[in-house]
Amino acid sequence: MKRIGITLGDPAGIGPEIVAAALNSADLPRHEFVVIGDYPICRLGEPTAETARAAAKALEEAVAAALRGELAAVVTGPIHKARMYEVGFAFPGQTEFFAHRCAVENFAMLLTGGALSVALVTTHIPLRRVAETLSKEEIVRVGRLLEKFLRLRLGRAPRIAVAGLNPHAGESGALGSEEDSLIAPAVAELNEDEPLFAGPISPDTVFHRAVTGEWDGVLCMYHDQGLIPLKLHAFHTGVNVTLGLPFPRTSPDHGTAFEIAGKNIARPDSMLAAMKLAAELVRA
């Protein structure tokens, strides 16, 4: 039975209670789930430098154990980035942390829940910088990672939609040129070996079409383009996945929720879904 490590995130948040609830769920697959880290006694809802350091240390222990082959996958609880930055955490988020510690440059963020899976070409950058940051090469790179993930889960060739950047996918150039200059050439390159990708498709229809079964996944140009529909569709069961690592890493798609920590009202659905997906991926 393969071991899957779990970090609690910031222990002042809802991480400990949702992990406990998920571990006690009858729906949890039969794997050896182990909590990684040494967490201080703290006041719930009040993150401190000490709780942030505990969260950071747990991440270091988890990735080191996974790289040694002692863990088949890692499921991470939510962290408080502002406090983490204050204690020296030098990454935009856990995605970038894992990629750096694994010496992986070809990685991407994917979220999946319900009938929708979305991968992001750009992630944590201001919206005004998206157009200047996009490139054909990045669209192709993330598209390949999305294809690999979907093949692994589905056991077949996936059907992938590529979202346009601009309203109406640029309206034949009237509302933007990126579809013609970047996205369409990327789709053509992605389809050189096998025609799996379609697009660019208008962003205001592509997610509905995916949820109703036309597509297995959507390649999105920026963070909120993918996360808004994902969270609208599967708010309580969405899972964040880091593509490209040498082992599966998943996490719930929500934050620390300090305002409700300790009140026993936090729903464990997303954490349970993250654990179940990690188990599914280690079996694949």
> Where would I find the H helices in the chain?
15-23, 49-67, 81-86, 94-101, 130-133, 136-154, 178, 184-190, 203-211, 223-234, 269-283
CA-to-CA distance for 276 and 28, rounded, in angstroms? Answer: 6
Helix or strand holding residue 109 (H, E): strand 108-113
The values of phi and psi at residue 278, to 5°, are: -60, -45
Confidence at 110, pLDDT banded by 50, 70, 90: very high
Q: 120 forms bridges with which residues in the sheet? A: 109, 220
Q: With 90 as the cut, is the pLDDT of residue 187 above it? A: yes
Cβ atoms within 10 Å, residue 76 = 29
pLDDT of residue 186: 98
Q: With 80 as the cut, is the pLDDT of residue 130 above it? A: yes
Confidence at 158, pLDDT banded by 50, 70, 90: very high
Q: For all residues of the chain together, what is the average pLDDT?
A: 96
Residue 93 is classified by DSSP as S
Mean pLDDT, residues 232-243 taken together: 97
CA-to-CA distance for 238 and 112, rounded, in angstroms? Answer: 6
pLDDT of residue 275: 97
Residue of 114, 98, 118 lying closest to 106 (CA atoms): 98
All residues at 6 or more sequence positions from 223 whose CB lies less than 8 Å from its CB, including other chains: 120, 122, 123, 124, 125
pLDDT of residue 6: 98
Tell me the pLDDT tens digit for each residue of 268-281. 999 999 999 999 99
pLDDT of residue 266: 96
The burial class, CB within 10 Å (0-12 / 13-18 / 19+), for 67 is middle
Q: With 80 as the cut, is the pLDDT of residue 246 above it? A: yes
pLDDT of residue 31: 81
pLDDT of residue 164: 98
Mean pLDDT, residues 114-141 taken together: 97
Q: With 90 as the cut, is the pLDDT of residue 175 above it? A: no
CA-to-CA distance for 266 and 264, rounded, in angstroms? Answer: 6
Mean pLDDT, residues 156-185 taken together: 94
pLDDT of residue 1: 72
- Across 30-34, 54-58, 187-191, 223-227, least confident range: 30-34
pLDDT of residue 283: 85
In what side-by-side order are the strands of the sheet with 108-113? Answer: 32-35, 3-7, 73-76, 249-252, 239-243, 108-113, 116-120, 217-220, 160-163, 197-201
Confirm if 94 and 59 have CB atoms less than 8 A apart: yes
Confirm if 271 and 136 have CB atoms less than 8 A apart: no
Long-range contacts, 261-266 (Cβ 8 Å, 24+) = 261/12, 261/13, 261/14, 261/17, 261/44, 261/45, 262/17, 262/44, 262/45, 264/17, 266/14, 266/17, 266/18
- Across 50-54, 59-63, 227-231, 262-266, least confident range: 262-266
Residue 247 is classified by DSSP as S
Mean pLDDT, residues 80-106 taken together: 96
Confidence at 29, pLDDT banded by 50, 70, 90: confident
pLDDT of residue 170: 85
Percentage above 70 pLDDT, the chain: 100
